[in-house]
Amino acid sequence: MIRPTQVPMRERDPQARTRTFDEVPAGYTPDEAQEEAARCLQCRDAPCMNGCPVNIHIPKFIREIREGDFRAAITTIKQTNNLPAVCGRVCPQEVQCQAPCTLGRRFEPVAIGRLERFAADWESQHGVQVPEVAPPTGVRIAVVGSGPAGLTCAADLRRGGHAVTVFEALHEPGGVLMYGIPEFRLPKRIVQGEIANLRKMGVAIEVNAVVGRTLTVDDLFTDGYEAVFIGTGAGLPQFLGVPGENFTGIYSANEFLTRVNLMRAYLFPEYDTPVKVGKTVAVVGGGNVAMDAARTALRLGAERVMILYRRTEAEMPARVEEVHHAKEEGVELHVLVNPVRFLGEGGRVEGVECLRMELGEPDGSGRRRPVPVPGSNFVLPVATVIVAIGNQPHPLVPRTTPGLRVAEGGTIWTDEDGATSRGGVFAGGDIATGAATVISAMGAGKRSATAIHRSLMRSRRRL
Amino acid sequence: MMNMILAKRPLGPNVVELVVEAPRIAARARAGQFAVVRLHERGERIPLTLADWDPGRGTITLVVQMVGKSTRELGERFGIGDTIRDVVGPLGSPSTIRRYGTVVCVGGGVGIAPIYPIARALRAEGNEVIAVVGARTKGLLLWLDRIAEVSSELHIATDDGSQGVKGVVTTPLQEVLATRKVAHVWAIGPAIMMKFCARTCQEFGVPATVSLNAIMLDGTGMCGACRVEVGGETRFTCVDGPEFPGDLVNWDLLLSRLGTFTYEERYALERYVAAQGGRS
């Protein structure tokens, strides 16, 4: 008999967890992992693998977990995935690997993400094996940006024997993994651990190097790098563009989360960066970033946190699991509302005026378009507002790199391999696609690494 | 590693000049740009305008006024041979340096230092540079020799009249604008000083550029902490600025946003001072 439901993962109690930044899910024990692994049907055609952007050999690593050979399992995963502890935590598996799972047609699909996380965490407790690296090729490659796309690209190129240097603008590598996703969802020691592993493989990382200011892509070629991968992400925050948005007390989600995650403002004054959260907080938006911001605000002591979203819960782009966690912790969802103006006194925000919405015809995204209900204006008193309505591609590198074709919306144009309009320059992740997921950025980094490797090896042979 | 402090000297009460090893920044720096520094593992990121740089020696010069916890820590606890954990730059858009004719460079207090490279660049481009500097009192004036080197006239104002004319910088500025044909004015100093310089320039119909000192976090355009309103539009000081046309800046908004963390800043400073007291 196959167990119809996934082995549940233990989680911290919602009441207790909203007071700490500790990770919410506890992860599987070895017994739980083996029990869940036993649910896998070991399909010969492995449809799950088609759903994984970095093509992990899923049935193989699950079989190894079932057999209790956890070392073999993590080795299998790391053949194609360089950041398994991260992916096991933040990938939307329900729409990726777990969506095509055969078992999922009748029962709950295999909990592939939880098993990946188990294998990665097991390895970090039992000694990390550094993946093997091919003999030196003598080729130097620069990677701009150390988020999921850049780190994946760098690791794969390094495995191919190339000398890889990653240039990061902030003082810590990791991109959105460090500044965006909160500690309670992705502990920073996990990210730092995975990055330390890349360093052990020989990937060099230079922080505080702002490409576009400190140096340019042209400088990199002058310095002898033979190829450049741009993975600078979608770090430009979007604002609503409504009156009063610059009052104090109104943060972009990027600012709010960077203060808390990267700068550890939740530990102020032990850490020097402050963050201020009033009693009543409104978060505008319905994606994962909005959920992260809302749950973070609660943990900083807000008494009431409201999510303001202009469509309904069914259209929310956030993962179901994240919305569920937020609601469990006491975050209020206010749907079909749209802020039209902020009200303030002495420069500080005190209220948000909203319009009620109703759903009309489907728009370009296929979702029903929210239409304002005339005269439905109402005011919510708020002390803090966090705007989480999305990010645009960061313009600094496109603006300072001649010969790069930039598509509408500021993304860098690339072909399927990530090759840009300029020879030797590749791009991938959010800078090429617009804001998307961690795993799609990693997939893009991987494809570009393969393409860069092939083109460099081809030109070598010609010499 | 880089970012070692190679020289340090006091420029007055609560003001220090630091020469820091930062070859990449020194190689690329241009007038009007700034750096972001983080002192140590637990530190915050603070923006400091580049007061000078030497590409040959690979150094930058920072002039720091000790106003809060981080700047006091930098000025009091960091000395020659110490390393600043993170120094990022050059950031911001450089000043638009071209041949204007006669220009006036106004520096207030610690703002005298960052006006120096702008004056120097303007002079090198063939402009006649008139400098106007001011401070509360004589002891707070700094870099007068350097400013004199790059300007044809040096006007000084102090609030208490201890050096130069008694009053604020707008007094000599007004006099210059009334008697000379000035093409452009730069002003750097406290927000309130820049606001009144911009107003004075407007009265004379002379365009003024100001360097805004908004709160910053990353300094690379990813958060909007430093957003200001210029001509009714929201702009990011760290990427679009820090220099903007003075007459278009929403000064009230800037001043109110600068007060966002007043309570936290005071608390952090008091805690630092108490800890220092306990140690000595």
Its CATH architecture, for the domain A14-126, is Orthogonal Bundle (1.10)
Write out the residue limits of the CATH 1.10.1060.10 domain(s) in chain A: 14-126
In single-letter form, the type of residue at position A77 comes to I
As given in the structure block, the two tokens for residue B11 are 């420029």
Query: pLDDT, tens digit, for every residue of A433-451?
Result: 888 888 889 999 999 999 9
Residues 6+ apart with CB under 8 A from A45: none
**Assigned CATH topology for domain A236-387:** FAD/NAD(P)-binding domain (3.50.50)
Residues 6+ apart with CB under 8 A from A179: A170, A254, A257, A258, A261, A262
Region at A410 (left for phi over 0; alpha for psi -120 to 50; beta for the rest): left
How close A213 gets to chain B, by Cα (Å)? 6
Across the interface, of A171, A255, A394, the residue whose CB is closest to B86 is A171
Alpha-carbon distance of B73 to B57, in angstroms, equals 26
Check whether domain B102-258 has CATH 3.40.50.80, yes or no: yes
- Lowest-confidence segment of A204-213, A364-373, B240-249 by average pLDDT: A364-373
Q: Name the burial class of residue B1, with classes exposed (0-12), middle (13-18) and buried (19+) by CB atoms within 10 angstroms of its CB.
A: exposed
Q: Residue A263: list chain B partners with CB under 8 A.
A: 44-45, 217
Across the interface, of B38, B70, B222, the residue whose CB is closest to A254 is B222
In single-letter form, the type of residue at position B40 comes to H
The answer to whether the Cβ–Cβ distance between A213 and B225 falls below 8 Å is no
As given in the structure block, the two tokens for residue A411 are 């993304």
Q: Does B25 touch chain A (CB under 8 A)?
A: yes
Average confidence score pLDDT of chain A: 93
- Kindly provide the ipTM of the predicted complex, given to two decimals: 0.95
Q: What is the DSSP letter of B107?
A: E
Instruction: Give percent of chain A above pLDDT 70.
Output: 99
Q: Rounded to a whole number, what is the distance in angstroms from the first to the last CA of chain A?
A: 61
Q: Residue A264: list chain B partners with CB under 8 A.
A: 42
Class of domain A140-235+393-462: alpha beta
Inter-chain CB pairs, A–B, below 8 Å: 116
Query: CA nearest A388 in B: which residue?
Result: B223
Is the pLDDT at B1 greater than 90? The verdict is no
Q: Identify the CA nearest to B218 among candidates A236, A420, A9.
A: A236
Query: pLDDT, tens digit, for every residue of B204-242?
Result: 999 999 999 999 999 999 999 999 999 999 999 999 999
Q: Rounded to a whole number, what is the distance in angstroms from the first to the last CA of chain B?
A: 31
pLDDT of residue A340: 97
Beta bridge partners of A356: A337
Query: pLDDT, tens digit, for every residue of B117-136?
Result: 999 999 999 999 999 999 99
CA angle A451, A455, A459 (to 5 degrees): 170
As given in the structure block, the two tokens for residue A302 are 């807000």
CB–CB of A353/A341 below 8 Å? yes
Helices of type H across chain B: 23-28, 69-77, 112-124, 144-149, 170-179, 191-204, 237-240, 251-258, 262-279
Give B21-24 contacts, CB < 8 A, sequence gap 24+: B21/B58, B21/B59, B22/B58, B22/B59, B22/B60, B22/B87, B22/B89, B23/B55, B23/B58, B23/B59, B24/A209, B24/A214, B24/A215
Alpha-carbon distance of B24 to B41, in angstroms, equals 22
pTM above 0.90, yes or no: yes
Torsions phi, psi for B31 (to 5 deg): -55, 135
CB–CB of B190/B255 below 8 Å? no
* Domain boundary assignment for chain B: 5-91, 102-258
The answer to whether the Cβ–Cβ distance between B220 and A254 falls below 8 Å is no
The reply to whether B105 sits in an annotated binding site is no
Query: pLDDT, tens digit, for every residue of A58-90?
Result: 999 999 999 999 999 999 999 889 889 999 998
Q: Identify the CA nearest to A318 among candidates A181, A450, A458.
A: A181
Q: Residue A348: list chain B partners with CB under 8 A.
A: 256
The CATH code of domain B5-91 reads 2.40.30.10
For B83-115, b/e burial (b = at least 16 CB within 10 A) is: bbebbbbbbbbbbebeebebbbbbbbbbbbbbb
pLDDT of residue B280: 42
